[in-house]
Amino acid sequence: MLETVTKGFRAAKNRLAGKSELTPDLVDESLRDIRVSLLEADVAFDVVKKFVARVREKAVGEVVQTTVTDAGGQKRRVSAMDHFIKICHDELQALMGPVDTSLNLKPKGQLSGIMMVGLQGSGKTTTTGKLASRLLQEGRKPLLVAADIYRPAAVDQLKVLGERLKVPVYFEPGVQPPELAKRGYAAAREQKCDVVLIDTAGRLAIDETLMAELEAIKSNVQPDTILLVCDAMIGQDSVRTAAEFDRRLTLDGFILTKLDGDARGGAALSIKEVTGKPIKFLGMGESMDKLEEFRPEGLAGRILGFGDIVGLMKDFEKVVDEKKAEDDARKLLSGQFSMKDFVEQIRMVRRMGPLKDLLEKFPLFGDLTEHLNPDEKELTKIEAMYDSMTAKERLRPDLINASRINRISKGSGRKPEEVRELLQKFGMMQQVMGSIGQNPGLLGRIPGFKQLGQLGQMKNMDLGSMFGKDPKMLEKAMAGMGGGMGGMPMQLPQIAPGYTPPMGQAAMAKARLMGYAPPAVGKPDDRDAIKERRKKEKENKKKNRKKK
């Protein structure tokens, strides 16, 4: 996602790595990388110009301090790159923010209306369904009005969505959209619904007839919110469309769709700056649950390769049963989990969407996601082998002997070597988890290890010291898990011995600087303890020498 934009920031980071000073030349060179990638990503030219000027002004004027005091009062070393990235982060956030995901609805029980507008194919109908699904979860009672009367398929599409969501859909053949919307409100009152979502018609391009019809709907029903659905793949064109819709209808905000694909990101970065109206939601896939609240901080973090902890937490919350996660984690850490638990974990992670999207939100993986190729096919293979095991084998994989391996191989259509490999990896994972379980330290606070539902705490945890302690442990655990996180098979790019994951001490200090992580805990005590231990060792040595 947004790979084109990210590329420029990554190049700037590489350019500044190891530099102690932010000289004007270095800043300009770094900004050149960024400018090129922003333009390539189809960010509006004026927006690029302003963004670059703002970052330059701050970066060049900045006296780079080599140490700063963080929120916890600790002194930290920071590099020129840290400063520069922090400025970029703040400016990206300012460009896209502030957060405003309100829908201006009246209190529950009173009838409110949302009018959905957009060009044809922007994802308007799908997004109307997603919004209805979200409102249902919030305890509202939505009703959908099919006001895209020119395309019979659009009416049918909305009816299908309504059936799936168990939400009433209002439509009357032969009635013009402004009147249809009005009758939709009446139908909602009759059916005791409290939010009307009007799916209006789209055209291939803005035209006078379309605009006049939308204006007539607006003046007929006076909706509480008018949202424009924009296809993020279209870049600058969608920003021009947005400005025109806003001029005619006075929009309340935007929903950017298809950000899960290879959207270049131009619209996400330009739309707020150009129109002054906020992005409220992001469409991240075709299914009804793929609508995320827009948080500029999260997107800025993902663009800069810092992950998006809050977004990740929301994904987990959607699919995880907290109690079960806790039980699973306990089993996992005791080394007592079975093949059944293993596959259930895989299934749970799969429900959260494509692995690459998920990993991108992990600060731990940071820039690595560019090279990570999580192999979804591997998961399917594992599930096939698992499905061919008996209930007993799933609980006691140690019972699986050569003849059982052959049977599982035939049943799943996989080679016997693959079955053996799965058992081997599983065994190793059990072993590694068991040993971590005896001394989980901070690792015990990672999702999947303890209370997935408590992922929120990750924002308050010291990942740096966690892996800084023993980076090999992570490597070992990953190898045991089939080369991936939480049992996820993927290829890590050439991990060298002693490799420290990107969220090592340095990155952690940076994340801290940005407020992504709290001050390191226990450092002074650790130092004191080490000093104390050394002192004791010296004293003991002295004593021993005297004894001799």
Say how many C-beta atoms besides its own lie within 10 A of residue 345's C-beta: 21
| CA–CA gap between residue 475 and residue 128 (Å, rounded) | 44
Number of residues that bind ligand GTP (CB under 6 A): 22
In angstroms, the CA 449 to CA 276 distance is 43
390 marked among binding-site residues: no
Tabulate helix, strand, coil % of the chain (nearest 5): 60, 10, 30
Determine if 162 is a binding residue for ligand GTP (CB under 6 A): no
Q: Whole-number minimum distance, CB 26 to ligand GTP, in Å?
A: 39
The reply on whether position 414 binds ligand GTP by CB under 6 A is: no
By CB under 6 A, which span of 204-212, 283-291, 484-492, 515-523 interacts with ligand GTP?
A: 283-291
User: Is the Cβ of residue 283 or residue 487 nearer to ligand GTP in the bound state?
Assistant: 283
Query: Which residue in the block uniquely carries the two structure tokens 């330009």?
Result: 270
Q: Does 285 bind ligand GTP (CB under 6 A)?
A: yes
User: Does 253 interact with ligand GTP (rule: CB under 6 A)?
Assistant: no
Question: Quick one: which segment of 82-90, 148-156, 423-431, 493-501 binds ligand GTP (CB under 6 A)?
Answer: 148-156
**343 burial level (CB within 10 Å; 0-12, 13-18, 19+):** buried
Q: For ligand GTP, which residue of 10, 78, 83, 118 counts as binding (CB under 6 A)?
A: 118
Of 233, 234, 274, whose CA–CA distance to 51 is shortest?
A: 274
Task: Figure out which of the listed residues 148, 308, 393, 418 binds ligand GTP, where binding follows CB under 6 A.
Answer: 148
286 forms part of the interface with ligand GTP (CB under 6 A): yes
CB of 149 to ligand GTP, least distance (A): 11
User: Nearest CA to 89 among 531, 515, 529?
Assistant: 515
Residue 354 lies near ligand GTP (rule: CB under 6 A): no
CB closer to ligand GTP out of 285 and 437: 285
Does position 261 interact with ligand GTP (CB under 6 A)? The reply is yes
Least spacing, CB of residue 175 vs ligand GTP, in Å: 18
Among 4, 30, 37, 125, binds ligand GTP (CB under 6 A): 125
Q: Report the C-alpha gap between 32 and 48 in whole angstroms.
A: 11
Q: Among 147, 154, 196, 452, which residue sits at the site for ligand GTP (rule: CB under 6 A)? A: 154
Is 453 annotated in a binding site? The answer is: no
Query: What 3-state class would DSSP assign to 230?
Result: strand
In this complex, which beta carbon is closest to ligand GTP, that of residue 8 or of residue 283?
A: 283
CA distance 548 to 546: 5
- Burial category of 528 from C-beta neighbours within 10 Å (exposed 0-12, middle 13-18, buried 19 and up): exposed
Cα(433)–Cα(415) distance, rounded to whole angstroms? 27
Among 83, 124, 264, 277, binds ligand GTP (CB under 6 A): 124
> In whole angstroms, what is the distance from residue 172 CA to residue 255 CA?
27
Q: Residue 125 annotated as binding? A: yes
* 126 part of the interface to ligand GTP, by CB under 6 A: yes
Closest CB 411 distance from ligand GTP, rounded Å: 35
353 binds ligand GTP (CB under 6 A): no
Residues 6+ apart with CB under 8 A from 102: 280
CB of 155 to ligand GTP, least distance (A): 9
Nearest to ligand GTP of 125, 225 (CB atom)? 125
* Chain centroid to CA 421: 31
175-204: which residues touch ligand GTP (CB under 6 A)? 202
Phi-psi region of 418 (alpha: psi -120 to 50; beta: other; left: phi over 0): alpha
Q: Does 257 help bind ligand GTP (rule: CB under 6 A)?
A: yes
Instruction: For 350-403, give the DSSP string.
Output: HHT--HHHHHHT-TTTGGGGGT-EE-HHHHHHHHHHHHTS-HHHHH-GGG--HH
CA end-to-end distance (rounded Å), the chain: 69
Residue 451 within binding range of ligand GTP, rule CB under 6 A: no
Shortest Cβ contact with ligand GTP: which residue? 283
Question: Count of alpha carbons within 13 Å of 181, Cβ hemisphere only?
Answer: 25
Q: Binding site: residue ranges?
A: 118-125, 199-203, 257-260
Binding site for ligand GTP (CB under 6 A): 118, 120-126, 148, 151, 154, 157, 202, 257-258, 260-261, 283-286, 290
Residue positions forming the annotated binding site for GTP: 118-125, 199-203, 257-260
